[in-house]
Structure 1
């Protein structure tokens, strides 16, 4: 029997673990680099340094794509903010209910390029301008959407689309977003729609629409008295 200790055989996992713990190994053993070959493409091979450069290049390209996407999102947000700012200023400058409704509908259709817009006021009186319905009628048709006074988006039921956009446009709306106009009472609902079922997904941010709704809810009561106000 031999008294010499038996060497533990090396396997790939132990070698890999050692190299992870000593990433500078090939700095001190440069003579080994030319002998290393790593599969790259069928019928070709590259050295470890070449492989590392390739991986770094791929990571750099991925980071550039991510940065480009973030810049695109930032530019889109800047454009949305500018359009929203102009709409808010138009609402503040309005001197009548007619001007308020026109400012909202014209901005959403032409500035924001929204194909379907529905602004419905809740009132027991017909103002002769825009669309007004009683609160009872609204709650019967879209009561679930009004609960919580939240801004929502996604696919809506046919009867909800008919109430928000009218019977003719309802069949063309694939997805929608809406803001409940609530400020010291319930004043109405602002809805926007798209023929694309995926355009207004449930995960889509509603920050700008919610902001427009908040401003509109504060401006409307000045000119649409008496609006139905329910706390």
Structure 2
């Protein structure tokens, strides 16, 4: 017997077993209604007549698949959020015990890159002096810098700003090469004792940042960063 004949015989045998099992357990589908959305059960009609029942069943089956896909997506999002939450809280503990600002900047940059898919990030501090020399993430500007004046309303509101930057403003946040590739951005005002700052994050992925738990974790992270910066500035 060839392999093809062997497979056909095996399929017929399996089908016969399934049929016999259903005969012995006529309530099988009654106890498993979820299987009804997967099975195709034809509805006998006259030739050339479309079955309304079959059309309704097809529509319900399509909706079932769509809802199941949505549920799977929500489950994945929940797992991603839980992983991000653990990462942020571990980072906060590390930041609060860090002895040097370089360490905090490295932790923060890694979290923004890994947890928030940031392709570019910069922490602007508006100060009249610069105690943070040669730190890639931090850029110190004067209190009356044009960027600070441009975003005065953002500081007044004290809330994150998502995807509201115009193309000509992106180079103010990032270098020109990176700004040309940014399709999503979030700006977070941070406030310390007698100073303020701005955390700017950009991603090449469109619609990457949205309001919700993920953004709330980012706001929390920015606040902890401000606390640590306050401590070093006072020293």
Match of 1:143 in 2: 152
Instruction: State the Cα distance separating 1:150 from its structure 2 match.
Output: 0.9
- Alignment check: 8 A CA contact 1:37 1:47 kept: no
1:158-214 deviation per Cα after TM superposition (whole angstroms, max 9, x unaligned)? 453233223443333233101111255543111110134x3346x544222212112
Q: TM-score, normalised by structure 2?
A: 0.65
| Match runs of 1:62-141 below 5 Å | 62-127=66-131, 128=133, 129=135, 130-137=138-145, 138-141=147-150
Mapped pair 1:210 → 2:219 = yes
- Alignment check: 8 A CA contact 1:38 1:47 kept: no
* Unaligned segments of structure 2, at least 5 residues: 1-42
1:29-63 deviation per Cα after TM superposition (whole angstroms, max 9, x unaligned)? xxxxxxx9879xx9454474x56654554443333
Match of 2:174 in 1: 165
The worse-fitting range, judged by mean Cα deviation, of 185-194 and 156-165 is 156-165
Q: TM-score, normalised by structure 1?
A: 0.66
1:72-95 deviation per Cα after TM superposition (whole angstroms, max 9, x unaligned)? 221221122122223212211211
- Alignment check: 8 A CA contact 1:123 1:133 kept: yes
- Alignment check: 8 A CA contact 2:124 2:197 kept: yes
Query: Could you say if the C-alpha distance between residues 220 and 113 of structure 1 is closer, same or farther in structure 2, counting changes exceeding 3 Å?
Result: same
- Alignment check: 8 A CA contact 1:175 1:199 kept: yes
Match of 1:30 in 2: none
Which of 170, 184, 187 aligns to 1:175? It is 184
Instruction: State the Cα distance separating 1:221 from its structure 2 match.
Output: 0.4
The count of aligned residue pairs is: 186
Instruction: State the Cα distance separating 1:100 from its structure 2 match.
Output: 1.8
SS at match of 2:151: helix
Instruction: State the Cα distance separating 1:71 from its structure 2 match.
Output: 0.9
